[in-house]
């Protein structure tokens, strides 16, 4: 493969604008660079490990799977960069302001709304938080078995996009504020990343004072740029150097960086994924070799 080929997931039309702009800028700096778009992260990760693309703009869940697939195949992956906005994030489990719940234990026997099945921030990590509190979340829209302590109402929007499409989170929030204690089957809590909690307040979905945070996850990290066996070491080094050198004050770059949601690229770190690795193991979403284990997951 000539030059450096990046794979990105088309979770929104703006992805084309972002990577068209970055491609033009990177080529101006002398890097032979191009990109391809994927409809889901699973295909992208498989192509990265197989060497069909050189670098992937990975979701946190895609990083977990890529690492496991690569280890099983004896392939080396190289983290390249991450955004400043990918570091030290939290997810929240929120309840209505008037809810009697004061701790996660008070959700026993209740209904918790989540995002899509493959959303780290709105499903996998919050459900892991419930497990850490001694609760056993059941299956979507069901009692989930005799041992389930909490019913899960999942909003599967944008499945395959690993939560990049926030429609599921948004619908979970709507379900929470649209439910009332007298309803036959109300939603008692909803899961979302902290930044979307603020966004939904600005959008008017969660009006001021309508909800409160019951619990938050520990901090975790989000996306990471990852190079695989299909990339030349020299190209990866130059790509990293150029990304880290992008200046938010540059009028040609600033609109693209704003669209991508960052002010600066940072060196990668891997310590922020341990929580998600644990959540994946608890749920059986992927096995130790990176094979999909979630039976109802159809990207």
Mean pLDDT, rounded, for 276-287: 97
Q: Are residues 116 and 203 in the same domain?
A: yes
Mean pLDDT, rounded, for 58-65: 98
Residue 61 lies in a domain: yes
Residue 149 lies in a domain: yes
Q: Are residues 110 and 164 in the same domain?
A: yes
pLDDT reported for residue 143: 42
Residue 146 and residue 232 in contact, taking contact as beta carbons nearer than 8 Å: no
pLDDT reported for residue 180: 64
* Stated pTM of the model: 0.94
Q: Are residues 227 and 189 in the same domain?
A: no
d(CA 70, CA 216): 32
Residue 297 lies in a domain: no
d(CA 236, CA 98): 52
From residue 258, how far is each of 6, 248, 255 by CA, in Å? 20, 9, 5
As a whole-number percent, the residues of the chain with pLDDT over 70 amount to 95
119, two tokens: 């959303």
Task: Please say which residue of 201, 216, 231 terminates a domain.
Answer: 216
Q: Are residues 95 and 134 in the same domain?
A: yes
Is pLDDT above 90 for 111? yes
Q: Are residues 176 and 80 in the same domain?
A: no
Q: Are residues 33 and 52 in the same domain?
A: yes
Q: Is 227 strand, coil or helix? A: strand
pLDDT reported for residue 295: 86
Residue 295 lies in a domain: no
Residue 253 lies in a domain: yes
Q: Are residues 18 and 79 in the same domain?
A: yes
Mean pLDDT, rounded, for 4-16: 97
pLDDT band at residue 296 using 50, 70 and 90 as cut-offs: confident
- The parent domain of residue 121 ranges over 91-216
Q: Are residues 47 and 128 in the same domain?
A: no
Query: How many domains, in total, are found in the chain?
Result: 2
Task: Please say which residue of 172, 192, 216 terminates a domain.
Answer: 216
Task: Please say which residue of 216, 236, 270 terminates a domain.
Answer: 216
Q: Mean pLDDT of all residues in the chain?
A: 95
Q: Are residues 112 and 182 in the same domain?
A: yes
113-172 pLDDT, tens digit per residue, is 999 999 999 999 999 999 999 999 986 654 445 568 999 999 999 999 999 999 999 999
Dmax of the chain from CA atoms? 64
pLDDT reported for residue 214: 98
173-222 pLDDT, tens digit per residue, is 999 999 766 666 789 999 999 999 999 999 999 999 999 999 999 999 99
Give the N- to C-terminal CA distance of the chain in Å, as an integer. Answer: 27
Q: Are residues 73 and 149 in the same domain?
A: no
Residue 41 lies in a domain: yes
As a whole-number percent, the residues of the chain with pLDDT over 90 amount to 92
Task: Pick the closest to residue 275 from 220, 223, 222 (CA basis).
Answer: 220
pLDDT band at residue 292 using 50, 70 and 90 as cut-offs: very high
Q: Are residues 101 and 190 in the same domain?
A: yes
DSSP assigned state of 105: G
pLDDT reported for residue 185: 77
CATH value at residue 139: 3.40.190.10
Residue 260 lies in a domain: yes
Concatenating the DSSP letter of every residue in 131-193 gives HHTT--EEEETS--STT-SEEEEE---STTSTT-STHHHHHHHHHHHH--TTSSS---EEEEE
Residue 96 lies in a domain: yes
Q: Are residues 192 and 229 in the same domain?
A: no
The residues pairing with 286 across neighbouring beta strands, listed in sequence order, are 292
Is pLDDT above 90 for 72? yes
pLDDT reported for residue 145: 52
């Amino acid at each position: 493969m000539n030059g450096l080929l990046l794979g990105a997931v088309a979770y929104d039309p703006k992805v084309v604008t972002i990577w068209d702009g970055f491609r033009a800028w990177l080529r101006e700096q002398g890097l032979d660079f191009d990109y391809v778009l994927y409809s889901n992260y699973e295909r992208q990760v498989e192509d990265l490990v197989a060497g069909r693309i050189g670098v992937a703009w990975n979701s946190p869940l895609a990083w977990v799977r890529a690492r496991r697939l690569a280890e099983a195949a004896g392939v080396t992956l190289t983290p390249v960069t991450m955004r400043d906005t990918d570091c030290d994030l939290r997810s929240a489990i929120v309840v209505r302001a008037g809810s009697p719940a004061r701790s996660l234990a008070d959700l026993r026997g209740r209904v918790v709304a989540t995002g899509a099945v493959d959303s780290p921030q709105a499903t996998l990590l919050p459900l892991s938080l419930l497990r850490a509190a001694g609760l056993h979340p059941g299956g979507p829209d069901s009692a989930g078995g005799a041992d389930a302590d909490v019913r899960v109402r999942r909003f599967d929007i944008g499945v395959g996009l690993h939560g990049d499409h926030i429609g599921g989170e948004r619908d979970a929030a709507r379900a929470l504020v649209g439910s009332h204690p007298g309803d036959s089957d109300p939603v008692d809590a909803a899961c979302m990343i902290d930044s979307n909690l603020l966004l939904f307040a600005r959008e008017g979905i969660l009006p001021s004072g309508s909800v409160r945070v019951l619990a938050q996850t520990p901090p975790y990290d989000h996306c990471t740029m990852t190079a695989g066996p299909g990339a030349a070491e020299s190209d990866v080094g130059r790509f990293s150097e150029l990304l880290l050198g992008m200046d938010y004050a540059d009028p040609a770059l600033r609109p693209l960086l704003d669209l991508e949601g960052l002010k600066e690229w940072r060196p990668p770190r891997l310590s922020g994924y341990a929580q998600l690795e644990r959540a994946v193991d608890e749920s059986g979403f992927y096995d130790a070799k990176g094979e999909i284990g979630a039976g109802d997951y159809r990207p």
